[in-house]
Chain A
Amino acid sequence: MDAAAASLNATPEPTTAKASHQSPQAFGDVYREHYQAIAGLIYRRTGDTHVTEDLTADVFLAAYKSMEDYRGQVPPIVWIRRIANNRVNRWVRREIGFRGILRRLPLLSAFVAPETNTSEPRSAALNALLRLPIDQQEVLSAHYLEGLSLDEVALMLAISPAAAKSRLARARDALRRELTHQAKESRP
């Protein structure tokens, strides 16, 4: 679990964020403080080093550009995590959607690289995770991969803690089904 995750419940720091907009140097402090947490989040969901580097840069670029709109309603790390989630979700939709389309085309399916090596536990797990609906990926990632509490997950996803809890339960069930399905498919 990233140590930075622990700061999620910290007191909002609107003045810091506003100062960051006025001073790129101050934004450097935000970048350095949250880089590991954001890059870690992206890496655990995409499993790709290059994608992680690109998306992390995109996230902080977007954060810098929209700093003007940040009003300090939530701590900076929550706000940046939301941006990161949106970027990863967009990547997942594009990546998975593209592969899916190619696989449905008989002439092209043979040329599509396998998503992951499903014999390796982490790859198999990631494969299953990426097949879930985006909202379920988000909640599983936030709670189990990033180590956020249900209250923190709710804050980040802007939903109630009760909704976060039920979504998490549904996501676990869906992941279980996906893992079972994947195990059946991989049997000779």
Chain B
Amino acid sequence: MNNHDSHTDPSAAADPVDTALSALAAPRWSKEADWRSFQERLMSTRSFGWKKLGVLALLASGCFAAGAASGVAWERFTFSGVFRGANGQTANVQGEAIRTGDGKFEMRLHSDGKADISGGGTMDITMPDGGKAQIVTTPLNLAESKEVTLPDGRKVRVPKDFTDEQIKKIQVSPKYKGN
């Protein structure tokens, strides 16, 4: 480190400036870093990029949504919460978010169907550790979507550029199969 000649020299010890500076330098911060607590604060203030989240696709069945988020804290987490649609209706939701790489998340969302989640709205969710976040979803653009029929007979609407692989992921999601 450095040498502070002016205030390490014993002959200068009586200098009031050095005395004052020594007194100011004395206090130590004793609290430990609490990353968990800080992380929760970030999440609760929506500072982890939740605002950036736009749901890429809300399937017309009202049962599933696949989305992407950037900067979310966990690699994988489940959540539950309440969706408030643009028309004022609400629905209970639960889902799972999984990091897919490139800082993006894919979200699978199950709604109890009491609100049209394809119309966009806000979703207040609770994380497994109690943290809160609000996700703003954008309405599904019908012009940019296509309807596909899943093997179990359900007809769902997905973004036009959804690949077969992405559609397959919806089909194989065991947690929500049958909804």
Q: Is A64 a contact of B21 with CB atoms below 8 Å?
A: no
B105 smallest CB distance to A (angstroms): 12
Q: State whether the Cβ of A144 lies closer than 8 Å to any Cβ in chain B.
A: yes
Q: Report the tally of A-B residue pairs with Cβ distances under 8 A.
A: 99
Tally of A interface residues using CB under 8 Å: 47
From A5, A24, A128, contact of B48 by CB (8 A): A24
Tally of B interface residues using CB under 8 Å: 34
Q: State whether the Cβ of A147 lies closer than 8 Å to any Cβ in chain B.
A: yes
Residues of chain B within 8 A (CB-CB) of A53 are 31
Q: State whether the Cβ of B172 lies closer than 8 Å to any Cβ in chain A.
A: no
Contact A24 to B39, CB < 8 A, known contacts A36-B33, A179-B17: yes
Residues of B within 8 A of A (CB): 1-4, 6-7, 16-17, 19-21, 23-29, 31-33, 35, 38-39, 41-42, 45, 47-48, 71-73, 75, 103
Task: Provide a sorted-by-A list of 29 A–B residue pairs whose CB atoms are within 8 angstroms.
Answer: A22-B103, A23-B103, A24-B39, A32-B33, A35-B33, A39-B31, A44-B25, A52-B29, A122-B24, A122-B27, A124-B20, A125-B21, A129-B20, A129-B24, A140-B21, A143-B2, A144-B4, A144-B21, A144-B25, A145-B24, A145-B25, A147-B4, A149-B2, A172-B6, A175-B20, A176-B17, A179-B17, A179-B20, A180-B16
